[in-house]
Amino acid sequence: RPNRNGQTYPEGLYADRTSLGADPLGLFGRVEGGREIHARNFGDFTLEDLLGQGDEDGGVRKPRLFSTHLFGPDLLPRGLFDGEDEEGQKKEGRGRLIVVARNLKDAMCSLHRFRGLSSDGWHGNGTGPGSFARYVSPDCPNGYGSAFEWVAANDAAVRAVGERRSLVVLYEDVVEDFPGQLRRINDFLGLGVLTERRAAAIEGACSMESMRAANMRTGMTIHRGGVGNWRDEPISEG
């Protein structure tokens, strides 16, 4: 099962069930309850379980859902895109792609609140530009890379996958009209009728209050949410 956030981190999983008892780095012995902490944070299943979650179940193939920070045609699964099989025959891409985008200034402020403000503040110093210029520069030194390159790569991915199998959702639209965007996603995925009761339950589970209360890990990664918070920060265009 995934962790309490409904997430899993493949790099934190064992390869298969036979290796569940292994602790090759001796991590669990360093912290009391280390194995249980690992299961809460990374999920109590294996990479083999993750890869097989779409296996046939009673003759019906179950859909798989992957949420990732990876982006663009070079990093997303090859199966999403049209290509060729091992024999050189054309192979049509499968699956659907949803990209969630946000105003880059708000995204930058959120990142700084999560990772900490850069040592030279928002405006930079005499030897380099300020934070926003760095954030969108192709040469961004940020460990997560350039935000502009992220947008460009995802644009290329959406174009490659095509309108029928791709959807772009703006964070600002979700904040303004959660029910409308939820139904848009539901219709795109072909999930059938979304009842008012179910929609209300999903909206409640996605509220800031619910996510903060989920557990300590979630509470630590959530700041303010909302739209336009960058205006409250002393950042500049340069």
pLDDT tens digits, one per residue of 139-176: 877 667 789 999 999 999 999 999 999 999 999 999 99
Give 36-72 pLDDT, tens digit per residue. Answer: 776 666 666 676 776 666 666 666 666 777 788 888 9
pLDDT of residue 91 exceeding 50, the answer is: yes
Cα separation, 169 vs 208, in Å, equals 19
Predicted local confidence at residue 108, as pLDDT: 84
Q: What is the average pLDDT value for the chain, to the nearest integer?
A: 77
Cα separation, 138 vs 142, in Å, equals 10
- Full DSSP string of the chain: ---TTS---GGGS-SSGGGTT--TT--GGGSTTHHHHHHHHH-SS-HHHHHTTTSEETTEEPP-----S--STTTS-GGGS-EE-TTS-EE---S-EEEEE--HHHHHHHHHHHH---TTTTT-BTTB--HHHHHHSTT--STT--HHHHHHHHHHHHHHH-GGGEEEEEHHHHHH-HHHHHHHHHHHHT-----HHHHHHHHHHTSHHHHHHH-HHHHHH----SS-GGGGS-----
Binning pLDDT at 50, 70 and 90, where does residue 3 land? very low
